[in-house]
Amino acid sequence: MIRVLLVDDDQELTALLSEYLEREGFAATAVHSGEEGEVQALSSRYSIVVLDVMLPRLSGIEVLRRIRARSQVPVVLLTARGDNIDRITGLELGADDYVPKPSSPGELVARLRAIMRRVNPAPDQTATEAIKTGQLVLWPGKRQALWQGNELGLTSTEFSLLEELARCAGQVVSKQDLSLNALGCPLTRYDRRIDVHISSIRQKLGPRPDAKAWIQSVRGLGYLLIAE
């Protein structure tokens, strides 16, 4: 069973979401402060965390920063509708996705399931062989990545995007294909999720010897992972 940690000071909302999640087959636990959310998220008891950005005292963004310093547990942010600054900041800090508030419980469930499918693919979808391109080695079944011989710390979403690019190394992959194949949802207008995640992956890979990025943007088309 997928164990979901809800971190939100709105107790009425978390009660509603918990009830809905449990009807959908999840096990839900709610806490109502950033401090307790941090402790519980780092306890290794949960499969995924749903974290409200607008928490009193310790903000959701700071909680996310502290979680990412010690854990790669998947995190979905609850953000105010239209608040692009918090969304982009959260993605840059390693959030896997965000859901605007107010939103339907069904949308949250769909996002949670999409992330968990990426983290725990079905046995017949798990690639047992490594994907190798240049100095990059990915093991999709273990969700493990090596870059230049060293462990590459990626969030679940970053791993899925890099895996899709690595499978097509040397070829341009459209943003729509990345969204469908790596994120499990169609690309929507003005959606910057992919751009922010790619920017984070670039930072982790570092620059090429010529100071250019290993992942190139191809204007109007998509992204290309240089195969060397």
Same structural domain for residues 62 and 162? no
What was the pLDDT predicted at 169? Answer: 93
**Rounded distance, CA 145 to CA 147, Å?**
7
Query: Whose CA is closest to 5, among 150, 14, 13?
Result: 14
One-letter amino acid at 93 equals L
For residue 96, the enclosing domain spans 3-119
Q: Which residues of the chain fall short of a pLDDT of 50? A: 125-126
At 126 the pLDDT is: 47
- pLDDT, one tens digit per residue, over 140-154 is 888 899 999 999 989
Residue that is last in its domain, among 71, 101, 119:
119
Instruction: State which of 74, 100, 119 marks the end of a domain.
Output: 119
Domain boundary among 86, 119, 152: 119
Nearest CA to 209 among 196, 223, 228, 191? Answer: 228
Q: What is the rounded CA–CA span in Å between residue 110 and residue 158?
A: 19
Q: Number of folded domains in the chain?
A: 2
Q: For residue range 38-82, what is the model confidence (pLDDT) as tens digits?
A: 999 999 999 999 999 999 999 999 999 999 999 999 999 999 876
CA distance 205 to 113: 28
With a CB cutoff of 8 Å and minimum separation 6, the contacts of 40 are 5, 7, 29, 31, 46
CATH code (residue 211): 1.10.10.10
Task: Determine the Cα–Cα distance for residues 145 and 152; give it in Å rounded to an integer.
Answer: 5
pLDDT at 128: 62
Residues 14 and 104 in one domain: yes
The pLDDT score that the predictor gives to residue 123 is 57
